[in-house]
Amino acid sequence: MSLKAKADAILSSATQSGDVPGVAAIATDRNNVLYEGAFGVRTLGEPAEMTLDTVVWIASMTKAITGTAAMQLVEQGKLELDGPASKVIPGLGEVKVLEGFDAEGQARMRPPKRPITLRHLLTHTAGFSYEFWNGDIQNYQATNTLPVIITCQDSALQTPLLFDPGDRWEYGINIDWAGKMVEAVSGKRLGTYLTDHVLGPLEMHDTAFRITSAMRERLAKIHFRGEDGSLAAADTEILQEPEFEMGGGGLYGTVGDYLKFVRMMLNEGRAGSEQILKPETVELMSHNAMGESLVTLLKTMAPPFTNDAEFFPGMPKSWGLSFMINNEVAPIGRSAGSLSWAGLANTYYWIDQKRGLGGVYATQIMPFADVKVLPLFLEFEKTVYQN
């Protein structure tokens, strides 16, 4: 049976059984699409079919695109990987480490032992976290009346560090700060910079922070899975007039658009006649950039939005300059040293530079690492490798 027939069967059966309302997936080698398919509907109870050009919230798949922008500016000498980030964003020099809370519930803070750098931000080793996976951050937000990150309010970034920069890995708001650094040195709003230097050159015309009217006509709604396994559509959406454009998770896009980014990374930074990144920059981004630290389980503190989440439990995983790296060959066939990550509403991608393979897969379901969606993605990817 062909890849097309096998993958179609896997994905279509998931929609027919009700496991997912709709799914779109696409796989590529360095030059050609190997598979593309879309099944089900964009929104439960509505007739519009899921298609390859359906617009979805790609959430934290935004991070690699923001990281690319930052690394373009490193190439130009406008940003430093290892200099104090406070030279660009003075407020990053004032962030304290949270040591705990006193009897009255007030935070006990101290200065960090070393300055935050862009490398720390791109590798999630600065000390920042997300409230989705950390109770101390939730407590700090509550006692200091801070909004959650997806409000895209500047004050949402005013959370403390949980440890000294460089000490370990903790997934968090780091790349939102990297986006602020891009804005500071480019003099442009992040979305404008991305359009001019990343999205535009890659012809990713359906990817943006702001949902255009043309994109909205193809937008899928996010669904929440209840404790009984049922799915219900919601009007959850990132603010369209945000105080800051969320470099860590604010973009909307399509699987076809994101595949152009994946293919650029497979081709040493080149897309057609455009050199988005230098080959040596792609090489630098694609290797462990945080020393002996390892990626750890994300333990949920917000069950409606995320389950406990870890890719390939038991396998050591490191982090490059905005990507997770599996240090060993994955059971699904993904080569050791491959790049990948995901978005909160269960969107996923992988970039296997050794084999010259990559793919993008999208649903719009929460919680993250959904019990139906994540296994379906892994089965899709495994099918690509087997065929």
Could you tell me the pTM of the whole model?
Answer: 0.98
Contact 198, 205 (CB under 8 A): no
- Helix intervals (H) in 92-189: 118-123, 135-143, 174-186
> Which tens digits make up the pLDDT trace of 181-192?
999 999 999 999
**For position 157, what pLDDT does the model report?**
98
**For position 217, what pLDDT does the model report?**
97
Q: What is the mean pLDDT of the chain?
A: 97
> Which tens digits make up the pLDDT trace of 121-132?
999 999 999 999
Active site residues: 60, 63, 171
Between CA 372 and CA 46 the distance in angstroms is 21
Between CA 329 and CA 60 the distance in angstroms is 24
Average pLDDT over residues 261-284: 98
Q: Tell me the percentage of the chain whose pLDDT exceeds 90.
A: 99
pLDDT band at 292 (very low <50, low <70, confident <90, very high): very high
Average pLDDT over residues 32-43: 98
**Tokens 């994101």, located at residue:** 258
**For position 81, what pLDDT does the model report?**
98
**For position 55, what pLDDT does the model report?**
98
pLDDT band at 366 (very low <50, low <70, confident <90, very high): very high
Token couple for 100:
């705990």
**For position 162, what pLDDT does the model report?**
98
